[in-house]
Chains A and B, each alone.
Chain A
Amino acid sequence: MVSKVDVAVIGAGPAGLAAAISARERGAERVIIIERAERLGGLLPQCVHNGFGLLYFEKDMTGPEYEKAFVDKANSLKVEFMLETMVIDLNEEGMLTVVNRQQGYKKIKPGAIVLAMGCRERPRGALGIPGERPAGIFTAGTCQRFVNVEGFMPGSRYVVLGSGDIGMIMARRLTLEGAKVEAVVEIMPWPGGLIRNEVQCLHDFGIRLLLEHTITFIHGKRRIKGVTVAKVDRDLRPIKGTERFFPCDCLLISAGLIPENELSKKAGIELDLVTGGPVVDQNRQTSVPGIFAGGNVVQVHDLVDWVSWEAELAGAAAASYADKGKIKRADQIRMVAGENIKYVVPQYISGKDDVTLHLRVSRPGLRANLKVGNILSKRFRSVRPSEMIILDIKAEKLRDARTLKELVVDCKLEGGD
């Protein structure tokens, strides 16, 4: 056993760093971040593009700059780090089992835990594309690591499947590095990533975005030689006769991110089937007391700024928990995703305090009317599944809802698609 740890944070990406900083600021004495990689920052070092920090710092920063701001702060607050350390188990009592080369196998029982493991990319296997199994198929994030950190180009002619943000950002990056991006292929009728990425990464460089298209065949025996792309119908089935061949020597997959919750499952934490992350209350406490969660492990965010914000909530709550032995659960009202709402986080709120809801719509459209029970309604000129909606609700507004068990959130579209 080690000396007492107040708050242990799992993961040293943007969420973990923000959680640890806020735990220290809330008075937790010993805060440790446990990270399996050899360095801090999670994915930030490989995200060399800008667009970070616009909300948090009101500054347009690159990934490495955003990382540095948090790492410097964590260091100045004497946050401790255990790098190259794997958490192999987490149980319901909040006991962590970790391994690393220096200390071997070790158990830690901190006062509170923050889960900040982030998310993973959906791999090709999960998509089930027919065809050969040649070399040259990568997730967009893996390619990003090759190109931005390790320093080599995995190919010269690319097709990107899925229009997630990393895929679009890589399409621009590869074009700037001299490669040709033949097309970005998106099965849905709308792009999967942010508008600014659609504009600045694709339109700026004349890169084709094929909406309502998918890859129906991968060609090539040893190395990928090309893909067959077809238009899809309303049920997302390929339409016969619309097939086109695109030559390429690399296929990138950018088909969404999945919160990484292997440890959460081991601890018996209740997961939300839609977000893929733990069910949390307003303070980001999970169903297991003393275990908190923040960032992409809870819900996949569009902007790192909100990752930091959410992790700060979790970190601050974890610090109070470590101090007092427990904190009141904020789970008086359950938030329910109603019409055209995919999910709402947090899943539970107290009804007594101000709260910020994060939610996504299922379908895009114009002139949307968003309603939270009958306590709040807000109009939006347009909504898109890829742009998270942030809604602040003041405690006074919730006064009437306090006797309720549930609050349903709806988003009616009045202007069509």
Chain B
Amino acid sequence: MRERSKSLWLIASSREVIKVSRREIVICIGCPMGCRVTVTLGKDGSVTTLKGAECRQGQKYVLNELKNPLRTLTATVRTVDEDFPLLPVRSSRPVPKTLLQPIMRETARIRIKTPVQAGDVVARNVQGSKADLLATTDWSGPGGEG
């Protein structure tokens, strides 16, 4: 329970959060509307009411955000190519929020050889998340476009 309130504290707007475990406000980021969703939780931590989400996708997001917040990780990894020192990468699927920093540490040592193509796998199953890190751009060497 403590863990849950803490993560809620981080995701809810610091101005609006009500710091009791019974009622929480989660900002949905599913689209630019940014609905402020009020969730009340029963004594056992289960969701009793959920108000303020404009759509079902948002409701799902909020419930998930309470249970298991996921984020797509985007970053860069080093290459051995002076003309293209960094390769932008993303996770092939969203990963638990708590794994973002551990994945960054795991992949800090990677060095990529060019040429490389968007979609190439840079690292597999990072931190046991079942997500791979994928290149997000093509680089065919100096003079090569994009």
What is A's interface to B at a CB cutoff of 8 Å? Answer: 39-41, 45, 48-50, 54, 60, 62-65, 67-68, 71, 147-151, 173, 176-178, 194-196, 198-200, 203-204, 206, 209, 211, 302-303, 381-382, 384, 387
Does B32 lie at the interface of the complex (its beta carbon under 8 Å from any beta carbon of A)? Answer: yes
> In the complex, which residues of chain B have a beta carbon less than 8 angstroms from the beta carbon of A203?
10-14
Residues in A neighbouring B145, C-beta threshold 8 A: 39-40, 71
Which residue from chain A places its CB closest to the CB of B82 in the assembled complex?
A151
Return chain B residues, CB-CB under 8 Å to A198. Answer: 13, 27
Q: Please measure, in the bound complex, the distance between the C-alpha atom of A41 and the C-alpha atom of B138, giving whole angstroms.
A: 13
A sample of 13 more A-B contacts (CB under 8 A), given A68-B138, A203-B10, is A45-B146, A48-B88, A49-B74, A62-B90, A68-B118, A148-B76, A149-B85, A150-B85, A150-B86, A198-B13, A200-B29, A303-B32, A382-B36
Q: Take A150-B85, A151-B86 as given contacts and tell me if A39 and B146 are in contact as well, using a CB distance cutoff of 8 Å.
A: yes
Task: Give 8 closest A-B pairs by Cβ, nearest first.
Answer: A195-B34, A196-B29, A151-B85, A64-B137, A48-B88, A64-B136, A62-B136, A49-B74
Identify B104's interface contact among A50, A176, A302, CB under 8 A. Answer: A176
For window 110-146 of B, CB contacts with A under 8 Å fall at 118, 136-138, 145-146
Q: Which residues of B contact A (CB under 8 A)?
A: 10-15, 27, 29, 31-36, 54, 71-72, 74-76, 78, 85-86, 88-90, 97, 100-101, 104, 118, 136-138, 145-146
B88–A62 touching, CB < 8 Å: yes
Q: State the Cβ distance, B32 to closest chain A Cβ, in Å.
A: 5
The listed residue with most A CB atoms (<10 A of its CB), out of B36, B76, B88, B97, is B88
Q: Are A151 and B29 in contact (CB-based, < 8 A)?
A: no
Q: Given A45-B137, A48-B76, A387-B32, do A148 and B86 touch, yes or no (CB 8 Å)?
A: yes
- Which of B35, B86, B100, B136 is close to A176, meaning CB atoms less than 8 Å apart? B100
State in angstroms the CA–CA spacing of A302 and B31 once bound together: 12
Distance of A3 Cα from B15 Cα, bound (Å):
61
User: Shortest Cβ distance from A173 into chain B, in angstroms?
Assistant: 8
- Docked CA distance A177–B75 (Å): 9
Q: Which residues of B contact A150 (CB under 8 A)?
A: 85-86
A302 vs B100: C-alpha distance in the bound complex, in angstroms?
25
Contact across chains for B74 and A204 when beta carbons are under 8 A apart: no
Report Cα–Cα, A388/B92, bound state, in Å. Answer: 30
Residues of B within 8 A of A39 (CB): 145-146
Given the complex, which residues of A lie within 8 Å of B14, measured CB to CB? 203, 209
Instruction: Point out the residues of chain B lying under 8 angstroms from A302, CB to CB.
Output: 32
Task: Tell me how far the C-beta of A68 lies from the nearest C-beta in chain B, rounded to whole angstroms.
Answer: 6
Q: Can you name the residue of chain A whose Cβ is closest to the Cβ of B103?
A: A176
Supposing A67-B146, A176-B100, A195-B34 touch, asked if A48 and B136 sit within 8 A by C-beta, the answer is yes
Task: Return the contact of B72 from the options A60, A384, A387 (Cβ within 8 A).
Answer: A60
Contact status A199-B11, CB under 8 Å: yes
Q: Please give me the residue from chain B that is nearest to A65 by CB atom.
A: B136
Which A residues lie within 8 Å of B32 (CB)? 194-196, 302-303, 387
- A45–B10 Cα distance when bound, in Å, is 30
A200 touches B71 (CB 8 A): yes
User: Considering only CB atoms, which chain A residue lies closest to B17 in the complex?
Assistant: A203
Q: Which A residues touch B136, using CB under 8 A?
A: 48, 62, 64-65
* Residues of B contacting A303 in the complex (Cβ-Cβ under 8 angstroms): 32
Look across to chain B and name the residue whose beta carbon is closest to the beta carbon of A175.
B101
* A67-B146 Cα distance, complex, nearest whole Å: 9
CA distance A203 to B14 in the complex (A): 8
Neighbour of A65 across the interface among B29, B36, B118, CB < 8 A: B118
Checking A151, A178, A196, A199 against B78 with a beta-carbon cut-off of 8 angstroms, the contacting residue is: A151
How far, in angstroms, from A195 to B118 measured CA to CA in the complex? 29
CA distance A70 to B33 in the complex (A): 27
12 residue pairs bridging A and B, Cβ less than 8 Å apart:
A39-B146, A45-B146, A48-B136, A67-B146, A68-B137, A71-B146, A151-B78, A151-B86, A177-B75, A196-B29, A206-B10, A381-B33
B89 contacts across to A, CB distance below 8 A: 48
Closest beta carbon of chain B to A62's beta carbon, Å: 5
Partner of A196, one of B10, B34, B54, B90: B34
Chain B min CB distance to A197 (Å): 9
Tell me how far the C-beta of B77 lies from the nearest C-beta in chain A, rounded to whole angstroms. 10
Expressed in whole angstroms, the minimum distance between the Cβ of A91 and any Cβ of chain B is 31
Pair B88/A199 contact, Cβ less than 8 Å = no
Of chain A, the residue at the smallest CB distance from B108 is A178
Report the separation of the CA atoms of residues A178 and B108 in the bound assembly, to the nearest whole angstrom: 10
Min distance, Cβ A198 to any Cβ of chain B, angstroms: 7
B104 A177 Cβ-Cβ under 8 A? yes
Q: Given the complex of chains A and B, what is the CA–CA distance between A242 and B78 in angstroms?
A: 43
Residues of A within 8 A of B97 (CB): 204
Min CB–CB distance B84 → chain A (angstroms) = 9
Residues on A with beta carbons closer than 8 Å to the beta carbon of B104: 176-178
